[in-house]
Amino acid sequence: MPILRLEMHPGRTQDQKRDFVREATRVAVEILKCPPESVDIVIQEVPREQWAKGGKLLSEG
């Protein structure tokens, strides 16, 4: 069973998340040849103050 994990900043709408999981599931089924019921997707929203890039916290610009 594939488990897809997506980490992103908060702010996406429920419609955007719904569209994402529908399309990600469709692609997983197509490429991995598995039933849609076996695809799990976990969306975790991580606030900007908990995210860093290039040695700097994103919350600090």
Q: Are 43 and 13 in contact (CB under 8 A)?
A: no
Which residues carry out catalysis? 2
Strands 3-8 and 40-45, bridge-based pairing = parallel
Cβ(47)–Cβ(8) below 8 Å: no
